[in-house]
Structure formats: C-alpha cells, structure tokens
Amino acid sequence: MRLVVDGALCGASAFVLAWAPALATVWSDAGRGLPGILAVSIPLGAVAVAAITTGVALTEIPRSRHAMPRAYVAGLLVIAVSDVAHGLGRTPLWALGFAILGVATVVYRGTSARRELVSTDWRLAYAPYAALVPAVATITEQHLRGGVPSQEAATAVVMGVLLVIRQHTTLTENRLLVERLAVTEQRLRHQATHDALTGLGGRALLHERLGAAVARHRADGTPLAVVFVDLDDFKQVNDTFGHAAGDDVLVETARRLRAVLDRVDGDAAAYRMSGDEFAVLLEGPAADAAEETARALLDAITTPVRAGDVEVVVGGSFGVAHGEGPATEASALLRAADVAMYGVKHGGKGGIATAPVVAR
C-alpha cells in the first residue's frame, strides 16, 4: 500500500515539475479533452510504476539481483520521456525504451528469497520526499510570482491527500511491526523457559516462580511445597525400544502430570528439570495436600504407556519438601525435595518420601 502511494506521489511531483516546461504544451496540442488527458497521464503513469518498482527493489530484492529492476525502471523512464517528446513534436525514443525493457527480461535471474522487515530502510522512507521537495518549491515560487496554474493546484491537493494516506499507512505498518515484535518476544521467551518436547516449563522458569512463591510464603505464610519426580528404569526404555519410544513416554508423562494437577485445589504446575526428572510446585491447599497429590501423580505415571507399537510401564520416585516459615529458602527447598527423592530411589524405588527443609 505504501509503495503504491509513494508511486502516486512521485507521479504527482513529476506532473508539477513538468507542467510548465512541457506538459501544458502537450495538453494543449492534444486537444485538452480525453486525448490530452491520455497524453499527460500515460507518461506520468510510467513514472509512478518506475517509482513503485524502485521501492520493490529496495524492500524485496537483494542487491545482487538489482540488474532487472534497474533496467526496468530505466526503460519506463525512457518511454515516459519519449511520450512527452512525441507530444512536443520531437523525436521519441520508444525503440530504446522497449529495448531496455527487453534487456531487463534477459538479465532476470529468477525469483530470489524475499527480504524481511526492511521497509524501514531510510532510502525508501525518504525517497518520496526527495521528489516532493522540488515540486513544493515550484508551487511556492509560482505562488510568490502571482499564481499557481489550476492543474498544479489540483495536483497539490491530491499530493496532500496522498501524504495523509502515506502517514496513516506508515503508522499502521509500525503498529503491526510492534505487534509482531511482541509476539516474537513472547514466543522466544516461551522457547527459552519451556521444554520443547513436553511443553512443560523448564528449570529456569521453575526457579523464577519458586522465588516468587517463597517470597509469598515468607510474607503471609502461604503454604508451599515442592515435589521432585524421577522416572524409574527410564534408561531401559531408551535402550530396549529406542529414543523415540522414550520421547513418547516423556510426553505422555507430562500430559498425565498436567491432568492430575488440573484437578487439585490451589496453584500447581509441573516442570521438566532434565532427562527423566520433573518437579512440581504447589501453593495453597495443593501444598497442604502435597503427599496426596504426589500419590495421585505416582498412580498416574505408573499406568502403562503406549510408546509407538509397544506398551511400556515406568515407575516413579517422589521426594516432597514443604516450606517452613520465614526461614525457607528456595535452594534449600529444592535440595530437600531432591534428597528425599534420591532416598526413595536408593531404597527400592516406586515410593514417596517427605524430607524437612534445612535452612542455611
């Protein structure tokens, strides 16, 4: 849209600049009616298309492939000048213009990869104003000398309308770019803080949210608990059935953890720490019932899982740690849950253990 408006602005500017020295005579000699309109509008249309082509080249086409658009613009400008020359009774150079267009088709190297987000290039942003400045100067000079031709005055009004449209288009484009940037930032943040395989939050997100939960626990005593989960004998699944089956198990385990946590009271969320280790952050009533929640999670993940063409069963070892008042620290809470989980692991697996938090 902005390229079209810029092309129209360049065409209007060319009209103002060329009216007194050439186009007025062309208009008069052609009869001032439809023939006159065509005699003036056709070369100006070629100028506008040349301007649009220049904008496309700057925004969409890599510099290494500019031979075709440059030749195309040169051919259009030669044809535009030839049209005016013909209207003035001089020798036109249409053959040269069309020959240059033919060269453009020869040097065309095929479709290139589209360039992204370069419409803010300063050359594109200021190019139309470079055409407007001499046009405005011409109208100003004519006004100071006693009068602006009605044709140029009407064109000046059109240029003002086009400038308003261009400004609106630019503001709309900037708003869309800002919205796209916000979406991109949100996506990048999600990718940085969430596990790509399971969709669960990752270790960094757990530490961020645990820090906030600990602050609330210290401030007003909001119940807080952390549950560490380690899948039992998960390595055997990878070794026996392959890593694709192991990924299926991890994805299904994450789904089951979310399904259980969606049913508990209070705030509850699961995170993937690494490999086959998960963590669950519980606040409010969910933290008071952390052991019951851990039991429900254990029952959920020990149900057979369909991994590809086989059905596998994995167990889980759980460690639970509760916040203990103002002395609670995030690192101590995580360490206590981890120690409790490994205690279950070394004691036979497939169980739940609760460990007290030891403050530093």
Sequence spans of domains, the chain: 2-188, 203-355
Cβ burial, residue 225 (10 Å; 0-12/13-18/19+):
buried
Q: State the pLDDT at residue 360.
A: 43
- Classified by CATH at the fold level, domain 203-355 comes out as Alpha-Beta Plaits (3.30.70)
Pick out the chain residues at pLDDT < 70. Answer: 111-121, 123, 356-360
Q: Tell me what pLDDT residue 115 has.
A: 58
**Residue 323: predicted pLDDT:** 87
Rounded Cα distance between 59 and 256, Å, is 49
pLDDT per position as a tens digit, 166-201: 889 888 888 988 999 999 999 998 888 999 999 999
Burial class (CB in 10 A: 0-12, 13-18, 19+), 13: buried
Give the pLDDT confidence score for residue 357 in this predicted structure: 58
- Name the token pair of 13: 């500017």
Q: Which of 297, 311, 306 is nearest to 254 (CA)?
A: 297
Residue 218: which residues within 8 A CB-CB, separation 6 or more?
A: 325, 326, 328
Pairing relation of β-strands 352-355 and 315-322? parallel
Q: How many helices (H) and strands (E) does the chain have?
A: 13, 7
User: How does DSSP assign 111-130, residue by residue?
Assistant: --PPP-S-TT-HHHHHHHHH
- Between helices 150-193 and 122-145, what is the axis angle to 10°? 160
SS (H, E, C) 126-186: HHHHHHHHHHHHHHHHHHHHCCCCHHHHHHHHHHHHHHHHHHHHHHHHHHHHHHHHHHHHH
Structure confidence by residue, pLDDT tens digits, 136-163? 999 999 999 888 999 899 999 999 999 9
- Tokens, residue 68: 């075709």
- Torsion region of 8: left, alpha or beta (phi above 0 gives left; psi -120 to 50 gives alpha): alpha
Q: Report which of 282, 255, 284, 251 is spatially closest to residue 268, judged by C-alpha positions.
A: 282
Q: Which amino acid is at 167?
A: Q
pLDDT at residue 2, rounded to an integer: 84
Mean pLDDT estimate for the chain = 89
286-316 pLDDT, tens digit per residue, is: 999 999 999 999 999 998 888 777 888 888 9
303 to 116, 151, 175: CA distances (angstroms): 49, 83, 50
* Cβ atoms < 10 Å from Cβ of 322: 22
